[in-house]
Amino acid sequence: MNVELHNIQNFQVVPQECVSYIGKYVTSTQYQVDSERTIEECLVYLSTGCTLNKDGRDVWLFDIDDTLLSTVPYFKKHQFGGEQLNLTSLEEWMRLGKAPVLEYSLKLFNELKSIGVQIILVSSRREHLRSATIDNLVDVGYHGWTSLILRGPEDELDGVQKFKANVRKQLICDGYRIWGILGDQYSSFKGLPSVKRTFKLPNPLYCVA
């Protein structure tokens, strides 16, 4: 909780006294219920707060990891975030393309498609994971997105927050209206330009700045 509130700075690993609690939470019904509630709020907003032009310029942004796909199986083998993150190991797991779907996010994804909203995926995954990422997404039921934006070599020096803010800026300059963002990290939302609404899924496993 103190990490979420930014009372703990430079968060690297889950404290050992919290590992058991977090492991129980992310494998529990409560985690699913909390995620479902987030998606319900997205759907309420779509039905009551969005006046779509349906001209191909209405857009919704999604993060990927722990937003569309779950990394819980990976972190289950690494003390639920209690080990220092090994990016090489994580990317090797991502390359296998076996991350399971987050069912409630898929529900929102399909609802957006059905009403003509363009879907753009913006992930901190690096460009060399593109093929594996696409295969994984399609295998678990995601298809029909407008574009998939990953970090290229030119983005390596920027933090995730700046990278995603730059993507939003370019989309708005291109004439898109970003109605909402769904993500599990604050770095998906922070920075300018801001958008009409943002929705955060629970994720106590790690913090990406």
User: Would you say residue 208 lies in a domain?
Assistant: no
- DSSP H/E element including 91: helix 87-95
Per-residue pLDDT at 5: 74
User: Would you say residue 8 lies in a domain?
Assistant: no
Percent of the chain with pLDDT over 90: 79
Per-residue pLDDT at 207: 83
User: Would you say residue 161 lies in a domain?
Assistant: yes
For residues 113 and 142, give the distance between their C-alpha atoms in angstroms, rounded to a whole number.
11
CA atoms within 13 A of residue 58's CA, in its CB half-sphere: 14
Residues 16-46 have pLDDT tens digits of: 898 999 999 999 999 999 999 999 999 999 9
Domain span at 189: 16-200
- Contact at 8 Å (CB) between 79 and 19? yes
User: Would you say residue 146 lies in a domain?
Assistant: yes
Confidence band (pLDDT; 50, 70, 90) for 167?
very high
User: Would you say residue 183 lies in a domain?
Assistant: yes
User: Would you say residue 6 lies in a domain?
Assistant: no
Residue 135 has pLDDT above 80, yes or no: yes
Per-residue pLDDT at 12: 81
Residue 3 has pLDDT above 90, yes or no: no
User: Would you say residue 205 lies in a domain?
Assistant: no
- Contact at 8 Å (CB) between 75 and 81? yes
Per-residue pLDDT at 33: 96
The SS3 of residue 156 is: coil
- Contact at 8 Å (CB) between 58 and 116? yes
User: Would you say residue 133 lies in a domain?
Assistant: yes
- What CATH number corresponds to the domain at position 170? 3.40.50.1000
- Contact at 8 Å (CB) between 105 and 112? no
Number of domains into which the chain is organized? 1
Per-residue pLDDT at 155: 80
